[in-house]
C-alpha cells in the first residue's frame, strides 16, 4: 500500500511540473482597463472582468515587447504578473512619466469599488511596487472621474495632463505637484480619445457632450477640441477630408499617435448601452493627420481586420505597430485578445498575428516559423517532456518496487540454503 501511495504522489508531482512548464496561464477577459508602455513592456491594469457581470479588478500585468509571439493564442503570450493595484477600478488611466527616482506608471481617476482609495497611485518600475501619491503642494483632484479618462504626457515625460469634467488637471512628476488649469473647457466630454501633438497641443477626438437639457449627444468627428499646454487655452478646429469620409461619431474608441504625426482611430460605437445590438462606428479604422495647423481625415482599407466592433479597449504605438488590447465586442462580451496593425506602409495597413520586436534579427537564415509551426513545435516539446516524465515515472516505480520487494519479502530458501 505504501509503494502505491508513494508512486501516486510522484506521478502527481511530475504531471504538475509538466503542465507548469508547457502551458501558459490564461489572461482574464476585460474592458475599461488602463494601459501604458514603459521599458519595452505593455502594462495593463484594472478594468471590468467577468462574463455577463461587472467585476472590478485590481490585477496588473505586463506584456514583454522584446520577444516574438503570436496573437492567435491569448493564453500563450509572454505576460508577467506584477503586484496588484492598490484599488479596484475601471475607466481609469495609466500614464508613464519620469520622476526624480526614475520611471513610474501613474493611475488617475476611474470608477472605484469600495474602498475607493486615493485619487492618484504610482507604480515604481525600479521597486516593482505601488504606493499612494499625495501632491506636495496640497492641491487635490476627485478620487473618481465622471467618465472613462485618458491621460497624456508632454515630450519631457514629466507633466501629465488628465481631462475630466471640463477641467484640466496637470501633475508635475518631478515636483510631485498637482495644478488645475485656470480656464475650463468650452464643454465637458465623455468617453473621448486623445493624443498629445508635436505642437504641445492636446487633441480631444470624438466622445459625447451634454446639451442644455442634460442630454448627451455625440460630437462630430470633424470637430476637434484642442488644449494648448504652453498658454493653457482651449480652441476647436474643423477637420477636412483628404481621402474617404469623415468617420461617424463615436464613443469608447481609442487614439494613438505615431512619431510621424499620424493619429490612428480605432473602434467605437454610438454610445447606446441599452441597445439590444449596439451600432459600431464606421469606419472602424481611420487616420487623422495634423499638418500646418490643419486636420485631415482619411479612411484607408485595413487588410485582415478581425473585428468589426471593438470598444473600451486601449491602443499604443510601438515601433511600426499599433497594439490594441482587450475591450468589448458587439455582443457585450469582453475580450482577452491583442490585435496588432502594421502601420509601416501608408498604402497597406494590415493586421498581423506574428509580432516581431523592432530591430529583431533572426539567428538563422530560414524564415521565422508560422504560428501553426510554432504550435507543432510546442506540441513536440510537450510530447518530449511528457515522454521523459513517463520514463521517470516508470524508472522510479521500478526502483521502488524492487527496493520494496528486497527489503520486505522473505525469500524462500532453496535446497542446501540456511535460513
Q: Can you give the residue ranges of every domain in the chain?
A: 1-30+370-411, 34-369
pLDDT at residue 27, rounded to an integer? 65
For residues 67, 71, 74, 77, the Cα torsion angle rounded to the nearest 10 degrees is 0
pLDDT at 92 over 50: yes
DSSP 197: -
Contacts of 154 (CB under 8 A, 6+ apart): 161, 196, 200, 229
DSSP 39: T
Ordered DSSP codes for 95-116: EEEEETTEEEEEEE--EEPSS-
Q: Grade residue 279 by pLDDT with cuts at 50, 70 and 90.
A: confident
Q: pTM score, two decimals?
A: 0.80
pLDDT at residue 50, rounded to an integer? 86
- Decide which of 360 and 46 is more confident: 46
The residue among 22, 43, 26 whose CA lies nearest residue 96 is 43
Candidate from 86-90, 151-155, 310-314, 398-402 with smallest mean pLDDT: 398-402
The residue among 110, 86, 98, 131 whose CA lies nearest residue 34 is 110
pLDDT at 401 over 80: no
What average pLDDT does the chain have? 83
- Nine cell digits for residue 125: 518600475
pLDDT at residue 392, rounded to an integer? 42
Percent of the chain, pLDDT > 70?
Answer: 79
pLDDT at 123 over 60: yes
* CA-to-CA dists, residue 77 to 21, 156, 255, 355, angstroms: 14, 32, 24, 11
* CA-to-CA dists, residue 210 to 145, 165, 182, 192, angstroms: 16, 11, 22, 13
Other C-beta atoms closer than 10 Å to the C-beta of 265 total 26
The CATH architecture to which 34-369 belongs is 6 Propeller (2.120)
- Nine cell digits for residue 256: 494613438
- Decide which of 255 and 210 is more confident: 255
What average pLDDT score do residues 159-165 get?
Answer: 97
Buried/exposed 350-385: b ≥16 CB within 10 Å, e otherwise: ebebebbbeeeeeeeeeeeeeeeebeeeeeeeeeeb
pLDDT at 56 over 80: yes
pLDDT at 396 over 60: no
- Decide which of 8 and 142 is more confident: 142
- Decide which of 389 and 208 is more confident: 208
pLDDT at residue 409, rounded to an integer? 37
Confirm if 227 and 201 have CB atoms less than 8 A apart: yes
Buried/exposed 299-314: b ≥16 CB within 10 Å, e otherwise: beebeebebebbbbbb
Amino acid at each position: 500500500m505504501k509503494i502505491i501511495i508513494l508512486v501516486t504522489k510522484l506521478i502527481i508531482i511530475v504531471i504538475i511540473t509538466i503542465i507548469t512548464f508547457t502551458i501558459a496561464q490564461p489572461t482574464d477577459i476585460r474592458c475599461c482597463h488602463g494601459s501604458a508602455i514603459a521599458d519595452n513592456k505593455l502594462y495593463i491594469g484594472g478594468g471590468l472582468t467577468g462574463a455577463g457581470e461587472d467585476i472590478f479588478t485590481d490585477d496588473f500585468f505586463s506584456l514583454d515587447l522584446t520577444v516574438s509571439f503570436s496573437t492567435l493564442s491569448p493564453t500563450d503570450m509572454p505576460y508577467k504578473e506584477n503586484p496588484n493595484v492598490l484599488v479596484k477600478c475601471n475607466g481609469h488611466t495609466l500614464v508613464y512619466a519620469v520622476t526624480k527616482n526614475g520611471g513610474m506608471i501613474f493611475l488617475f481617476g476611474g470608477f472605484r469599488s469600495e474602498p475607493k482609495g486615493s485619487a492618484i497611485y504610482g507604480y515604481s518600475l525600479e521597486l516593482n511596487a505601488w504606493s499612494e501619491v499625495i501632491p506636495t503642494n496640497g492641491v487635490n483632484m476627485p478620487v473618481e472621474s465622471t467618465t472613462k479618462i485618458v491621460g497624456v504626457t508632454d515630450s519631457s515625460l514629466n507633466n501629465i495632463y488628465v481631462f475630466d469634467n471640463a477641467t484640466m488637471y496637470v501633475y508635475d512628476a518631478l515636483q510631485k505637484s498637482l495644478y488645475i488649469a485656470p480656464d475650463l473647457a468650452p464643454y465637458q466630454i465623455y468617453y473621448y480619445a486623445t493624443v498629445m501633438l508635436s505642437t504641445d497641443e492636446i487633441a480631444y477626438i470624438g466622445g459625447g457632450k451634454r446639451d442644455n437639457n442634460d442630454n448627451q449627444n455625440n460630437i462630430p468627428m470633424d470637430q476637434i477640441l484642442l488644449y494648448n499646454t504652453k498658454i493653457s487655452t482651449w480652441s476647436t478646429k474643423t477637420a477636412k477630408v483628404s481621402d474617404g469620409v469623415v468617420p461617424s461619431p463615436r464613443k469608447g474608441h481609442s487614439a494613438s499617435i505615431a512619431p510621424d504625426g499620424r493619429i490612428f482611430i480605432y473602434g467605437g460605437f454610438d454610445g447606446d448601452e441599452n441597445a439590444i445590438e449596439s451600432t459600431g462606428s464606421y469606419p472602424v479604422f481611420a487616420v487623422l493627420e495634423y499638418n500646418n495647423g490643419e486636420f485631415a481625415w482619411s479612411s484607408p482599407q485595413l487588410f485582415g481586420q478581425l473585428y468589426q466592433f471593438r470598444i473600451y479597449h486601449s491602443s499604443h504605438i510601438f515601433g511600426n505597430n499599433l497594439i490594441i488590447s482587450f475591450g468589448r465586442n458587439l455582443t457585450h462580451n469582453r475580450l482577452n485578445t491583442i490585435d496588432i496593425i502594421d502601420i509601416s506602409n501608408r498604402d497597406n495597413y494590415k493586421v498581423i498575428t506574428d509580432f516581431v520586436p523592432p530591430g529583431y534579427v533572426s539567428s538563422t537564415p530560414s524564415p521565422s516559423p508560422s504560428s501553426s509551426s510554432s504550435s507543432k513545435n510546442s506540441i513536440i516539446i510537450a510530447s518530449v517532456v511528457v515522454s521523459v516524465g513517463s520514463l521517470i515515472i516508470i524508472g522510479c516505480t521500478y526502483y521502488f518496487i524492487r527496493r520494496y520487494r528486497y527489503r520486505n519479502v522473505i525469500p524462500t530458501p532453496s535446497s542446501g540454503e540456511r535460513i
